[in-house]
Structure 1
Amino acid sequence: MAETASARAASPPKRAAVRYIGLDIHKAYFVATGVNAQQQIIFGPQRVTNAELENWVKKHLNKEDAVVLEMTTNTYLFYDLLEPLVHSVTVVHPPHVALITRAQVKTDRKAAHGLAQLHAAGLLVSIWIPPQPVREMRALIAQRYKMVRLCTLAKNRLANVLHRHNFDKPPGSQPFHLKHKDWWLALPIKGIEKINLECDWEMVEFAERMKKRFEQEIAKAAASDPRAPLLVQLPGLSIIGAVTVLAAIGDIKRFPDADHLTGYAGLGARVHISGQMHQTGRITKAGRKDLRYIMVEAANHASRGHPKWKELFKKLEPRLGRSKALVAIARKMLVVIWHLLTDEAADKFSDPHQVACAMYAFFYKVGARNMPPGLKALPYVRQQLDRLGLDCPSIRWGRKRYKIPPSPASQSPPMTEVVAEPA
C-alpha cells in the first residue's frame, strides 16, 4: 500500500551525522580526514588506493558519517558505493570550495581536512547527481559528438589535399560521400601523403559508422521518453537536439523557474549591482556547454524558418548583432522549454500544422520498431496533438496530403433509445 502523507509526516526525522568525512580523490588514490561537529579531527588523515575503496568503506565508515567530495572523473564510482552505506554523500563543485582552491599551501591532507571542516560548518552546497539512465545518455551524446568532430577533422584533411595540389572536387554536391571513395583513392599522389589520405578515409568510414550506431541508441531513448515529443514541436530541435536537452536538464522539477534553467545553461547575463553601481555584461557561460550549444543551434534554425522567432531576430539583430541576437533567442527558447516540460503543453506560438508535421517526422526518424507494436504514424500524430490540446485535420508531406484520424474525444457515442416505463 502506498505511504500516506500523514504517515510520512509522522515518520521520525533523520538523525544528524556524528562525523564529517572529507575525501580528496585522485586517479589512483584518495585521502580521507574526519572531524566532529566542533571541527576537531577525530579520524585520519588516511591515504588509501582506489582499489581498496570498498573494503575501506565497510571497515571505517557507517551510517553516522556524512561524506563530502569534489566532482571529478571518478566521483560517480565513489558516490554509488558510499551512498547506501553512510549517512549522506555531498558532492561539491570544485570552484565553489573557495577556501581550498585559494589556499597558498595546498596538499591532499589539507584539502581533505578543509572539505570536512566546511561540511561540518554547513558551508557547502551539494550539486545534483544524475541517476544512472541520465549519466548513460549524457555519455552517449558526448561520444556521438566526438565522432562528429573526428569525422570533420578527417574531411578537412582530405579537403587540404585538393587545395595543395589544385585538384577539382569530385562530381556532385557531397564530395565526401562514400560513393566517391574510389575517386579519392585514385588521386595522383604518392608516398606518405597517399598513406595519410587512405587513413583519413578509413577514419571517415569509422566515424560515420559509429555515429550511426549511437544515433540508433538515441532514437530508442527518444521513443521511450514521453518528454521528447514535447520538445520536437519547437523549430530547430531534432531528435538529437531534444535528447541532448533532456539529458542535460534531467528532471525539470529541479528548476523552480525558467531563470534557474537559463542560468544552468550559462545563458544568463553577468550582473554586478552594488551601491550606486548597476552593471550587466555578457552571458556567464557558467553552465552546461552542451545545453548552451544545442540551444544556439536551434535558435539559428528557428530564426530563419519560424515566423515568431524570425520576427524577433529581425528586431534584435540591428541593435545586438547577429551572434548576440541568436544567443538572446536561444535563451528565450530555453524559457519556452521550461514551460513545455513543466506544464506538458503546446507552445502558445506553435502552428498546429507544423507541430503535426514535426510529430510525423519524429515517428519515422525514431522508427516504427521502437514504437509500441501496431502503432502507425498518423494515429501517433493524433495522440500527440490531443496530448497538446491541438487539432489539425491533415498534413501536407511533400506532394501528398495525409488525413489525420479524428480525435476519439470528438466522436460522439451512439445514441441509445430511452423507453419510458409504464405507469
Structure 2
Amino acid sequence: MVILLAMKPSKKRGETMSKEYNHYIAVDWSIKNMAIARMTGKSNKVTVVDVPSEIEDLKLYLGILRGSKILALEETTTSQWLYTELKGHVDRLVICDPVRNHLLSEGAKTDKIDAVKLVQLLRANLLKEVYHSAEGFLELRRLVSGYDDLVKAMVRLKNQRYSLLKTSGLTGEESTGTRLKGTVKQRVIEGMERQLECCKREKDIYEEDFEKLARKHAEIRHQKSLPGIGIIGAVKIVSRVVSPGRFIDAGHYLSYAGLVKLERTSGGVVYGRKNSRYSRGLKSVYKMGAVTAIGGNNTIHDYYEPNYRRKNNVDETSQGN
C-alpha cells in the first residue's frame, strides 16, 4: 500500500544540530522559574542562572547574545507555546524528547542541574529532536484531538448503556427510549441517551469542519485519494505528518507509522525485531484503511487477492504432502 506521496529528501538527522554555533543555550522552564544554561562554541565552561519565568526577559537575554544561537527545550505541555514565541529569536530551536535524555535522570536533580546537562547534550549533538510545526497545523491537530476525545466518549457511553441493558435482562441492542424497571435505572439510561445525542450532533459538526478543510487543503484531498482512506483518516494523516520532508526516507516514515519493526542485529546475527515508538493514531488509520481497501474494488484489492490465494494454495499443498 502506497502511503507516502512525493516523499522529499530531507536533511540527515542531527545534521543541523551538528553545525557549529557561537552560543548553545538550554532552558528548563516551569511556571514559577526558568533555569538558563549556556556554553560557547570555543569553551566547555557552562554558565547557568535561575530566575523567575518571564518570556520577555528570555527574549531579551537571547537578543543580547551576539553570533549564531541554538536553543534546546524539553518536550512539555508548554513547549509548543515556547517554540512559537522563541523561534524567531534564535538560529535554531530544538525541542527534545525527555524520554531519551537518560543523563538527566542520573545524580541530583534540580532545575539548574537539568539545564546544565541539557546544554551539554545539545553541544555534544546527543538530543533526540521532537518535530514541531507552525500554528496552522497545530490547530488542525487540536481539532483532530477533540474529535478523537469525542469518539472515545461516545464509545464509553455506548458500552455503559449496553451493560445497563444487559443487567436488566435485555439483549443490549434495544433502541433509544427503551423503558427499564426501576426509577434509578430509567433515570441513568435516559441521561446516557441524552449525552449520546449531544455527542452525535457534535460529531456531525466536526465532520463538517473536516469537509471544509479538505476543500481548503490539497494535502488532505491528496491523502483521501488513496484506497481505503476516507476524509477523517486523511485529516488525521495530514495533522500528524505535517510535512513528509521531515523524514529521511520512506523507511523512517513507516517506522513512525508503526508499520514496520526494527531489526536487532549484533555480530551479523539477528536477535529479533522490536516495535518503534510509533504514532498509534497514524497506525490505526492505515490499518483500518487497508482492511477497507482489501474489501473494495481498487488497486489494493487487486494486489492483495492473488497474493492471498497463492499463499493459501501453497499452504494447502504443503499440508497435503
Distance 1:261 1:56, change over 3 A: same
Match of 2:160 among 149, 157, 161: 157
Matched, 1:300 2:291: yes
Match of 1:267 among 252, 259, 272: 259
State the Cα distance separating 1:36 from its structure 2 match: 2.6
Distance between the aligned counterparts of 1:276 and 1:28, measured in 2?
52
Give the match for residue 86 of structure 1. Answer: 90
Give the match for residue 59 of structure 1. Answer: 60
Match of 1:97 among 97, 101, 124: 101
Distance 1:205 1:313, change over 3 A: farther
Amino acid at match of 2:47: I
Give the match for residue 113 of structure 1. Answer: 116
State the Cα distance separating 1:95 from its structure 2 match: 2.3
The answer as to whether partners of 2:97 and 2:127 remain within 8 angstroms in 1 is no
Distance between the aligned counterparts of 1:303 and 1:213, measured in 2?
30
Distance between the aligned counterparts of 1:302 and 1:160, measured in 2?
33
The answer as to whether partners of 2:74 and 2:98 remain within 8 angstroms in 1 is yes
Distance between the aligned counterparts of 1:314 and 1:106, measured in 2?
59
Per-residue CA distance 1:52-111 (angstroms, 9 max, x = gap): 2x222233222544211111211011111111123331111122323224x143332211
Distance between the aligned counterparts of 1:242 and 1:97, measured in 2?
33
The answer as to whether partners of 1:32 and 1:112 remain within 8 angstroms in 2 is yes
State the Cα distance separating 1:47 from its structure 2 match: 3.9
Distance between the aligned counterparts of 1:34 and 1:87, measured in 2?
15
Instruction: Please report the RMSD computed on the Cα atoms of aligned residues, expressed in angstroms.
Output: 2.7
The answer as to whether partners of 1:267 and 1:285 remain within 8 angstroms in 2 is no
State the Cα distance separating 1:200 from its structure 2 match: 1.4
State the Cα distance separating 1:309 from its structure 2 match: 2.8
Give the match for residue 183 of structure 2. Answer: 190
Alignment of 1:382-401 (within 5 A): none
**Which has the larger displacement, 261-270 or 136-145?**
261-270
Q: How many residues align?
A: 289
Amino acid at match of 2:62: L
Distance 1:292 1:26, change over 3 A: farther
Distance between the aligned counterparts of 1:225 and 1:167, measured in 2?
47
Give the match for residue 15 of structure 2. Answer: none
Percent identical pairs in the alignment equals 22
Distance between the aligned counterparts of 1:189 and 1:311, measured in 2?
57
The answer as to whether partners of 1:269 and 1:280 remain within 8 angstroms in 2 is no
Q: Could you list the runs of 5+ residues in structure 2 that have no partner in the other structure? A: 1-18, 315-321
**TM-score, normalization: structure 1?**
0.62
The answer as to whether partners of 2:38 and 2:47 remain within 8 angstroms in 1 is yes
State the Cα distance separating 1:275 from its structure 2 match: 0.7
**TM-score, normalization: structure 2?**
0.80
